[in-house]
Amino acid sequence: MRTIVSAVQGQGDVIVDGQARLLDAALANGVERLIPSDFSIGLQAVPVGLNAFLDLRRRFAETLLSSGLGWTLFYNGGFTEVMLAPFFGMVDEAVATLSYWGDGQAAMDLTTMDDAAAYVAAVALDPSTAGQRIRVAGDEVSALDIAKAYADAGRPLEARRLGSIEDGYAELERRKAAGAPFIDVLALVYGLPMMSGAAKMSPLDNGRYPKSGRHACATSWRARLRTPDQVHRKQGRRMSTTAPAPHPRDYTTENSPIMLLDHQRDLMKWLKNRPREVTIGVVSPDVV
């Protein structure tokens, strides 16, 4: 086994402790490289303390980079399916609105789960990426671009500016102080750095893997908009884009805010058919 790709989500017991056990096993068994479960906006673009999930990834990255094992850090921006899902608070087709903070023109890095899986498989098979941070994006799109894409697909949304980016961060602090549900805070800690442009990754490494997507990366999510029920696939089922937002319990455990967005399963479905040199190292918190 040459490379392990980790695709888990959770809190410190998974992202830090669990992946540390995976790292120990890799070192003990002659694995050459570990690609940890980042699948996110670039960690360097977001201040420490703003996003707990990214802070956990930073902690494990420090452990990995000092371990002596080969590594590659992989960033794909936001998952398109997540950013457009009702719980994220941007697109609400039930009332035909698209809500955003800032001027709505900042480019955001979005990648579908299919394309992220294709890219990370290509990265795992490319030994030249060892010791590098790889940044890819299926599309670079603003909030207003998303509104236009919906309109072009015959599903127009009213663009609603919620306030400035500073207003958005004030709202984030208000929600925290009020003990808002975890899911209501999560959308802002990811969304605000993206809508402000602070999380925009540069340079992108798409050009290294021009054939990696099963779809043309920059058009796949737009094409899905023309086919209802396809944009927000989750947990192996189709979730209607016009249905009410699922209860937050669909996305969090009873006692711990572990995201269950299932990019793990989507990635594994694609990666399991890749050459044997690419091995999925972990699939659930129980494994790690």
Q: Can you read off the two tokens belonging to residue 235?
A: 């947990």
Range of the domain at 31: 3-282
Nearest Cα to Cα of residue 70 among 126, 108, 139:
126
Answer yes or no: are the C-beta atoms of 39 and 1 closer than 8 Å: no
| Assigned domain for 222 exists | yes
| Assigned domain for 25 exists | yes
Mean pLDDT score of the chain, rounded to an integer? 79
Percent of the chain with pLDDT over 70: 75
pLDDT of 112: 86
Answer yes or no: are the C-beta atoms of 229 and 238 closer than 8 Å: yes
Vertex 141 angle, CA 77 and 184, to 5°: 60
Q: Is 60 exposed, middle or buried (0-12, 13-18, 19+ CB in 10 A)?
A: buried
| Assigned domain for 216 exists | yes
Mean pLDDT of 279-283: 43
pLDDT of 7: 85
Three-state secondary structure call for residue 128? helix
Top-confidence residue, 66 or 11: 66
> Where do the H-state alpha helices sit in the chain?
12, 19-28, 52-65, 80-83, 113-124, 143-152, 165-177, 182-196, 220-225, 263-271
Mean pLDDT of 68-91: 93
Q: Which residues pair with 134 in a beta bridge?
A: 74
Greatest CA separation for the chain: 55
Three-state secondary structure call for residue 6? strand
Tell me the C-alpha distance between 233 and 166, whole Å: 32
| Assigned domain for 211 exists | yes
Could you tell me the CATH number of the domain that includes residue 242? Answer: 3.90.25.10
Q: Residue 288: which pLDDT band, with cuts at 50, 70 and 90?
A: low
| Assigned domain for 287 exists | no
Q: Residue 225: which pLDDT band, with cuts at 50, 70 and 90?
A: confident
Q: Is 284 exposed, middle or buried (0-12, 13-18, 19+ CB in 10 A)?
A: middle
Nearest Cα to Cα of residue 77 among 135, 17, 142, 141:
135
Tell me the C-alpha distance between 37 and 128, whole Å: 19
Side-chain half-sphere CA neighbours of 45 within 13 A? 23
Top-confidence residue, 180 or 242: 180
pLDDT of 220: 64
| Assigned domain for 266 exists | yes
Q: Is 236 exposed, middle or buried (0-12, 13-18, 19+ CB in 10 A)?
A: exposed
Answer yes or no: are the C-beta atoms of 37 and 75 closer than 8 Å: no
**What one-letter code names the amino acid at 276?**
R
| CB-CB neighbours of 275 under 10 Å | 10
pLDDT per position as a tens digit, 96-146: 999 999 999 999 999 988 888 888 888 988 999 999 999 999 899 999 999
Tell me the C-alpha distance between 145 and 151, whole Å: 10
Tell me the C-alpha distance between 147 and 153, whole Å: 10
Q: Residue 72: which pLDDT band, with cuts at 50, 70 and 90?
A: very high
| Assigned domain for 218 exists | yes
| Assigned domain for 288 exists | no
Domain count, the chain: 1
